Each structure stands twice: as structure tokens, then as C-alpha cells.
A and B are shown apart, each in its own frame.
Chain A
Amino acid sequence: MAHIDFNTHISVSFNKELEDLRNAVLVMGGEVEQQLLNVIQAIQFNEASRAEKVVLNDMRINQLEVEIDKECLRILATRNPTASDLRLVMTVSKTTTDIERMGDEIARVAKYISQGIFQIDEQIKLNTIVLGEEIIKMMQKTFDAFARQDVQSAALVFERDDIIDAKYEHIMLMLKDRLRHEVEQLDNWLAIMSGLRALERIGDHCKNLCEYIIYLAGGQDIRHTSTKKMQKKIKALISP
């Protein structure tokens, strides 16, 4: 049962509720994606005002999480969902938590930029933007996999996180080198490190989302399993 059609219940209104729930996650995901695009642009052009808007807009994302969670609770209480329906509702609830956290990470970077403590030279900026673009790609692919409930793409996205980790480590090495020579800018360096770490964490949240997608489709819990075991499990799910 790798693919589940959520639109085949006898109850038409239940079909609609589950469809709305999934759409709500995609709306929330779209918002966060826009936030990420904005913050990367704010880094690129050092735009404090754009960063401020990102900070303010994070409230909206928090609000979306609350609303979606409320709907999850309502469905649990009124529909008593079972099996894949139950997994969907639980997954949505967890997914929104992770998306909300992604929003927090983005807002953190935005805050540093708006406070003027995210001053980076061209070389680090270039690398940060490359990292940012990689994260945007990963995020888009994650939401795409969620929209299509596609286990195979979710598994592939999972592996993208390695690219992000490598790029992040690379920038960290450069930063350490700078830090040694320019200790007087300590506040700035700390903000940059913390901001980059926040960006890197977005990749981890994407990974979580992919785990949920895999769980939802096949009922396989791949959290906290070794990569090797996980790949075996995923393989079993993908190939019929």
C-alpha cells in the first residue's frame, strides 16, 4: 500500500476535510518558502527592511500552525480516523510543527540582518547564497513530495541533506579562519555562525518531513534508524 488515495471515502465531506488539511499544509509550506526566498535576498543585497518584513511575517506562520493543529484535533475528535487517515492527521500535525520551526530559523537570520549584525564579505556571502539556494531546492522538493505523497522523492530529498551539511561545514571552516584574524567583530561573527546554523537546520526539518511522508505512505517508521537500514526499508516500500 505505497500509494493511498485520500479521496475515496464513502463520506464526501470527510474527503473534503482531509483534502483541505493537506492543502493547508501546502499553503503554510508556500509561505515559509517565500520567507526563505526573502531572507536569502535580504542577505544578498543586505536589505534590512526586507528582513524586518520577514520577521513580522513569521507571526502569520505561527498562526497557520495553530489553525492547522486545531483542525487536526477537530478531525480526531469527530471522525475517529483510523489507519492511513489517522496517520495523515498525525503526520500533518507533526509536519506543521516542523514547518513552524523552519519559519523560526528563517526569522532568526532575518532578525540578525535587520539588526545589522550579519555583515559578511563577498566570499562568504557567495557561499551562503549557494547554501541558501540548495536549501530552497530541498524545501521545494520536500513540499512537492508531500503534495504527491511520493515516497521515492521523499527518500531522494532525504539524501540532499548531505549536500547542505557539506556546504555548511565548508563555510564554517572559512568563518573560523576569519574569526582568528578579526576577533574585534565578535558579535557579528557569532550572529553569522548562529544564522548559518539556523539555515542548516532547515535542511534537518525537511528531512523530518520526508520521514513523515514515508511513514504516511507505508506505515514505516524510519526515524532514528541507520541510513543503511533506512535505505533498505525505503527500497522495500518503493519496489512493489
Chain B
Amino acid sequence: MNLFSRKTTPLKKLTPENIAVNIESLSVELNNKVVLDNISMRIPAYSITSIIGQSGCGKTTLLNSMNRMNELITDHKITGHIWMDKRDINHKRENVARLRTNVGMVFQQPNPFPMTIYENVGFGLKLQQQYSRRQIDDAIEKALINAGLWDEVKDRLHEPAMILSGGQQQRLMIARALALKPQILLLDEPTSALDPLATLFIEELMQSLKQHTTIVMVTHNMQQAARISDYTAFIHKGELIEYTDSDSLFTQPKHKQTEDYITGRYG
């Protein structure tokens, strides 16, 4: 009997076709400091995966690994593989610009450019210099609709993005990422600067986005991870301690470190 509609396929039961990102033995050193230590995890497609853990445990670094942002740090050493679509994105011949189109990113603080709403969303598309004005208009409208912002901004597309509220700005950032039709969307604490209502809007938005996009989110808010993510990874001091479906992790964690962290105990 299927009494409850919420049901997540256990990680073990996922077949390779269901995996959007396959991280294999990833280690990252930044300025001679080991930040991620031999991480292996398979991130399911069309689902929300949360990364939780104490400040400084390496969550952002793990997220940044997925679109090679760590390379922006001068002294970095990255080993291991990250497979997306049968390609190892860590391979030196991988086209990083293409990768970052395919893997969108949204940060904690909404950071709209000092431009209009329209220009913010169209920014990435314009850079690509391959679309007509008409195509860009369509893509912007679609991205704003998918980001749940269209109705609120359709009459003021050419006003500065700064006039929007914090929650609207964050949805604008999501629209900016969506305009490039990424397969994967990375969100680094996307709601920590937002009030509860704006947070709820973003959470709902993520639920609808996962129909077409794989979402990986870093969050400080454990209830948020439990509420909206299908899978949750717990990182401690650069190591992946536990990674499973959120329902299991938040009701019956297997590792004491996870238990201590999620129940608020001294580790």
C-alpha cells in the first residue's frame, strides 16, 4: 500500500542513468591545507541533494568543485574525478566555460549586477553572442517564469535590479542561472540572508525546478535540508561521514558524528 506520496529511492538502488554527478575520490588542498579528503558520492539527477556540516568543514569547497571554481584560488591541488555525462570535468582539456554554463551557481548573498532586471537575467546569454534579440527575450521570460518571479517583475523589466527585495533578488539570481538552461544548479546557502517567507518561496521554487534540473544545495539550516532535500550528505572536517536519503539521515543516522551534529550535541 502506498499511503504516503513522499518517497525517495535509496541511493544504493539508483542505476548509473539516474546519477547526474559521480564524484570519485575527490581531494582538494587549498594553500597547502587539506580541505576535502577523498570524497566519493553519487548525486542523483532530478532531485535535491543537501550538503550539511559545521562552518569550515568544506561544504562550499565541495560545491565549488562541481564547476571548478576552486581553481580560482592560486594555490590549489585537486585530485580525483567528477563525472558528469560520462565526462570527467576535472580533466585538463575540459572546456570550463561550457562547464559553468551547464552547472549554474547561486550564492548566499544575492549579488545582482548594477543593471536592469532584464539585463541581469540576460547577461550570460548576451555573453555567448549567439542568440537573436527575440531568442534572448524569450529565454529571459522563461527563466523569470521558472524562477517564480515573472508576475512580480514583468511590468518593470527595465528598472534596476536593486529595487527588488532580498527574496526577489535571490529568485532573480536563480533566473540568471536558469537562463543558461543548466543541467545542474548549485546553491550555496541560498536562503540564509532571507526572511522565513522569502525562504519558503525559494524552497517551493526548488521543488518545482527539480523536475528539469539537478539541485545541489549547501545549507546551514538542518530543518531545511530535512524538509526539502531528497538526499543529504554530512561533511565533517573535509570528510564525507554519511550520505543517504534525507529521511533516513534525519530519523536514523548511522554514524555518531552525524547524530551529534543533527541533534545539537557536543561532537
Contact = CB atoms under 8 A, between A and B. Distances in A.
Interface of A: 1, 4, 8-11, 14, 80-87, 219
30 contacts: A1-B256, A1-B259, A4-B259, A8-B265, A8-B266, A9-B263, A9-B264, A9-B265, A10-B264, A10-B266, A11-B264, A80-B223, A82-B222, A82-B226, A82-B250, A82-B251, A82-B262, A83-B250, A83-B252, A83-B253, A83-B258, A83-B259, A83-B262, A83-B263, A84-B259, A86-B250, A86-B251, A87-B251, A87-B252, A219-B251
Contacts of A4: 259
A83 B266 contact: no
A130 B253 CA distance: 44
A4 B260 CA distance: 10
Interface residues of B, number: 16
Interface of B: 222-223, 226, 250-253, 256, 258-260, 262-266
Across the A-B interface, the 7 shortest Cβ-Cβ residue pairs: A219-B252, A82-B262, A8-B265, A82-B250, A85-B263, A83-B259, A10-B264
Contacts of A84: 259, 263
Contact of B264 (A1, A14, A86, A87): A14
A86 B259 CA distance: 11
Contacts of B226: 82
A10 B250 CA distance: 18
A10 to B, nearest CB: 5
Nearest to A8: B265
B100 to A, nearest CB: 35
Contacts of A83: 250-253, 258-259, 262-263
A82 B263 contact: yes
- The secondary structure that dominates the B interface is helix
Contacts of B262: 82-83
- The secondary structure that dominates the A interface is loop
Nearest to A7: B265
A85 B264 CA distance: 10
A153 to B, nearest CB: 22
Nearest to A220: B252
Contacts of A8: 260, 265-266
A4 B253 CA distance: 13
Nearest to B252: A219
A8 B264 CA distance: 9
Nearest to A219: B252
B112 to A, nearest CB: 33
Contacts of B223: 80
A82 B263 CA distance: 6
Nearest to A85: B263
A153 B20 CA distance: 47
Contacts of A14: 264
Nearest to A87: B251
A85 B250 CA distance: 10
Identify which of A11, A81, A82, A87 gathers the most chain B CB atoms within 10 Å of its CB: A82
Contacts of A9: 263-265
Nearest to A14: B264
A94 to B, nearest CB: 15
Given A83-B259, A84-B263, 6 more contacts: A10-B264, A11-B264, A81-B263, A82-B251, A83-B263, A219-B252
A1 B264 CA distance: 16
A154 to B, nearest CB: 18
A86 B262 CA distance: 11
A87 to B, nearest CB: 7
Nearest to B226: A82
Nearest to A5: B265
A64 B266 CA distance: 33
A82 B249 CA distance: 9
Contacts of A80: 223
Contacts of A1: 256, 259
Contacts of B266: 8, 10
Contacts of A219: 251-252
Identify which of B250, B252, B266 gathers the most chain A CB atoms within 10 Å of its CB: B252
Contacts of B265: 8-10
